[in-house]
Structure 1
Amino acid sequence: MDTSVLCNLLGVPGKSQDREKVLKDLKEKRAASGCDLLLPVTAVIETGNHIAQLSDGYQRHRMAEKFAELLLMVVEGKAPWALNEVEWNAAHLNALVQGGSTGMTLVEHAVSGVGCGDVNILIERDRYLARTSGVEAVVWTLDHGLAAHS
């Protein structure tokens, strides 16, 4: 899942216009057998940034608490998804610069308006596929630019 989905699940003000659809989709994905949901590191960082940038202090505090609770649920294995554990190393960074399996470099993505976070989510997906076998992995996103590569 990407940042757009996580923000909608949390109900982040200004970033959750599709909340009802995302909640419905989550319910359907959880009911589907063989569908595992992974939480990319990128989505965690970007969502935390969106929360920290909320102008209303009360909303910022409320959302930060809700976000922290959600992250603890992941740690405790109580969330409907697992953390996608990736190693931040030279191989990961090189894959990011090269654009992974997208056929475009990070520079080309930036020029076309696709951000580094979106490219990193795709790299996380690629690396997940490389360490698993017999699975298909798609990025659950509401972002049309990212969806074109997922």
Structure 2
Amino acid sequence: MTAICLIDTSIFVEVLNIPTKSSQHEAIVEQLGQKITNREELFLPMATIIETGNHIGQNGDGTLRRQCAERFVAQVNQALDGCSPFKPISFLKPDELKQWLGEFTDHAMLGSGLGDLSIIHDWQRLCAQNPSRRVYIWSLDTHLAGHDQAARM
């Protein structure tokens, strides 16, 4: 069975080649191509969408900001329409947010934000739903990249 991959913000900004945030665009796009060739399921968490949008909105150059925003909107719309290698997940429910808020203080003390915590919860849910498949977070951040469930036979 193919692997399940959650795309972190650090990867999505590279895919979109966002100025001041992207330094490995070519390498990441090449790795993405391999994941697509391997038929991995690529999930785009809501936190990744929101955080990437924030990075684009904070770009200082208006022309580049507009170009990035247009690429971003097109890519997310394609994912929502099922016309992209990415599948959006985690449209938040109030009870889930309350649970995450209960964990957030301790999580924040580890130097990580609420977006990362929500991605970890997405990973945990996908691991529970897919115990025989590899489920991992593709991230350039070591605290997220370490979340990798090996496929079990």
Q: Alpha-carbon deviation of 1:130?
A: 3.9
Q: What SS is found at the alignment partner of 1:125?
A: helix
Taking only aligned residues, the RMSD between alpha carbons, in angstroms, comes to: 1.9
TM-score, normalised to structure 2, is 0.83
Per-residue CA distance 1:27-71 (angstroms, 9 max, x = gap): 1111114x2110100000000000000111111111111111111
Q: What fraction of aligned residue pairs are identical, expressed as a percent? A: 32
User: 2:32 is matched with which residue: 12, 19, 26?
Assistant: 26
Aligned residues: 142
Task: Label 1:3 to 1:131 Cα distance change in 2 as closer, same or farther (>3 A).
Answer: same
Which runs of 5 or more structure 2 residues have no equivalent in the other structure? 1-6, 149-153
TM-score, normalised to structure 1, is 0.84
Q: What SS is found at the alignment partner of 1:138?
A: strand
User: 1:42 is matched with which residue: 44, 47, 56?
Assistant: 47
Which runs of 5 or more structure 1 residues have no equivalent in the other structure? 99-104
Partner of 2:61: 56
Q: What SS is found at the alignment partner of 2:135?
A: coil
Kindly indicate whether structure 1 or structure 2 has the higher relative contact order, using CA contacts under 8 Å at least 6 residues apart. Answer: 2
Greater fraction of residues in strand: 2
Contact 1:109 1:115 in 2 (8 A): yes
Partner of 1:67: 72
* Counterpart code for 1:50: H
